[in-house]
Amino acid sequence: MVFDKIFFAAAFVVIVSMLPFSANAFDITGGAPWQARVGPGLSASVGINGCLRDYCDDAWDTGASIGATVGFFYRIIPNLVVFAEIHTGHIPADFDGNRWGGWADVDNDNGLAFQVTGGAEFHLPLAGWVAPYMGFGMGFAYLGVWGEVDDLPGDQDGDFHGSLRGLDFQLKFGADFYPFSRVPNLSLGPVFNLGLPYWIKGCWKQDFGPDDDEECDDVDDEPFDIDDDETPFILYFGVLLRYGF
């Protein structure tokens, strides 16, 4: 539910930012200020990171936490930006031991999201100081979880690490605002990323039991056993800073 509110909030910001401009003020090329911003630049953002859909809720019982993104972009024309970026974020987890072999107690469990993405964005410059945009990217996605298992047979304790790895398809929505007259190439604005990964492999490693080597298999096999309608999505909502050279 909280992620639904984040999505609609992001969409609202983008739509409202387009409303105050008259038809005469609208210029799809952005005018002189935007023409000067064509070229390379760097970006960074910080915000809320999370895992979405039934698998995240039922197996890992994940919540939202802090995430960050850094990247490089090149504005080919005022409307078209190509980018490459790295995203990582902590995802708190409350692991369901009953689903994972009936473990009695799981402590210190937490997760991590990691994405490397390249793609393109279409920007709609308005009056030179604001530009809503939408984009699409592809790359690598990783979603991992760690924890400690207590009260094993024989009063043993153990650690485990599980991860999903796959091809990431990313949708991006946001708006760039240029409020600094003395630094016209510096922008701030909201950004919403929705990662829709195609998970190829699930890997598992534990330091208890007969075999402590890491094993990787299809995600629909044990121990992950993920159905199509449970496939985890990676969600991110943050504030993005861009600086063009």
In the chain, the number of structural domains is 1
Give pLDDT, residue 154. 61
pLDDT at 29 over 70: no
Mean pLDDT value across residues 18-35: 51
Element housing 146 (H / E) = strand 130-152
The token pair that represents 207 in the structure block = 């330091």
- Range of weakest confidence among 169-173, 175-179, 187-191, 204-208: 204-208
pLDDT at 16 over 90: no
pLDDT at 228 over 70: yes
The residue among 45 and 204 whose pLDDT is bigger is 45
pLDDT at 102 over 80: no
Give pLDDT, residue 192. 96
Give pLDDT, residue 119. 97
Residues 6+ apart with CB under 8 A from 16: none
Whole-prediction pTM? 0.78
pLDDT at 60 over 80: no
Q: Can you give the residue range of the structural domain that contains 11?
A: 2-244
pLDDT at 106 over 60: yes
* CATH number for position 184: 2.40.160.20
Give pLDDT, residue 30. 55
* First-to-last C-alpha distance (Å) of the chain: 40
The token pair that represents 209 in the structure block = 């039991």
pLDDT at 27 over 60: no
Can you tell me the distance from the alpha carbon of 178 to that of 181, in angstroms, rounded to the nearest whole number?
A: 8
Give pLDDT, residue 104. 55
pLDDT digits (tens, 9 = 90+) for 194-225: 999 999 988 888 776 666 677 888 888 777 77
Give pLDDT, residue 31. 59
Mean pLDDT of the chain: 80
Can you tell me the distance from the alpha carbon of 202 to that of 217, in angstroms, rounded to the nearest whole number?
A: 5
Selection from 53, 141, 62, 146 nearest residue 107 by Cα: 146
